Amino acid sequence: MQRRHLLLAALAGRAAPAWAHHGWGGFDQDRPLYLQGTARKVAWKNPHVELDVETPAGLALPADLPRRAVPPQSAGVDASHVLANTRLPTRQDRVWHVELAPLTRMQAWQVPELHDGDRVEVIGYTSNGEKGEPVLRAEYLFVGGKAYGLRSSPA
């Protein structure tokens, strides 16, 4: 009987979706991408906040992007390089799945809770060559006229 329970537990663990938090290794950090649009399917939860961004037709880089103010924690590290090298995605997807920071970091930054319909701008990274699903891992989030550096803590 004990073996049956072990087998069932092992099978259940295999069938369960992989919800584990993952790192940055699968993302092309040499190629920051810009998205702007409307938040959809916002999930304000752990292991990180997620949402879909529905982009408009004719998405364009804002002229002021390289000069935008970012939090001091990232400004001295690589912010100017990231902002100056940000480009638009080459793929034509109108909806991108965006992974933000863990909920605790979002709360530490005092990012206002996002809701479906909110306007957002994101700079982040996708897979090498933009292959696979349209997924972006966020480096910076711009909402309500404020920038949040999602890979650093505010302190």
Domains defined along the chain, listed by start: 27-149 (2.40.50.140)
* Mean of all residue pLDDT scores within the chain: 83
Phi, psi of 62 (to 5 degrees): -70, 140
User: Considering only 46-50, 80-84, 122-126, 127-131, which range has the smallest mean pLDDT?
Assistant: 127-131
Contact partners, residue 79, CB within 8 Å, separation at least 6: 70, 149
* pLDDT score recorded for residue 26: 63
Q: Cα separation of 56 and 26, whole Å?
A: 27
Whether the bond into 47 is cis, omega within 30 of 0: yes
Mean pLDDT over residues 58-79, rounded?
87
DSSP H helices, 101-144, are 103-108
In tens, the pLDDT along 8-59 reads: 334 344 333 333 344 545 666 789 999 999 999 999 998 999 999 999 999 9
**pTM of the full predicted structure?**
0.81
